């Protein structure tokens, strides 16, 4: 299972169990595949943010702060 498939399963589980948007699991995709069509596919699957490899800890912390209020 890849990250897109996993994210879809997580979002389906949340939907089936009535987990609202404010309680859903934040998902940050960490990927070397950062082309626009791949980004679109990830967002359509339910990813909250995308971080392209290679990345710094500072970049990761920014993404985490974007998805976790």
pLDDT reported for residue 21? 72
- Give me the CATH number covering residue 46: 3.40.50.2300
Helix or strand (DSSP H, E) at 58: helix 57-67
pTM: 0.87
- Cβ atoms 54, 33 nearer than 8 A: no
User: In terms of residue numbers, what domain contains 53?
Assistant: 3-67
Domains contained in the chain, number: 1
HEC string of 7-49?
HHHHHHHHHHCCCCHHHCCCCEEEECCCCHHHHHHHHHHCCCE
Q: What is the pLDDT of residues 6-25, one digit of tens each?
A: 999 999 999 999 988 778 99
Share of the chain above pLDDT 90, in %: 86
Q: What tokens appear for 1 in the block?
A: 């299972």
């Amino acid at each position: 299972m890849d990250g897109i498939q996993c994210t879809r399963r997580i979002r389906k589980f949340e939907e089936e169990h009535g987990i609202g948007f404010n309680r859903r699991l934040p998902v940050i995709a960490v990927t070397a595949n950062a082309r626009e069509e791949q980004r679109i596919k990830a967002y359509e699957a339910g990813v909250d943010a995308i971080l392209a490899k290679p990345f710094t800890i500072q970049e990761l912390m920014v993404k985490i702060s974007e998805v976790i209020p």
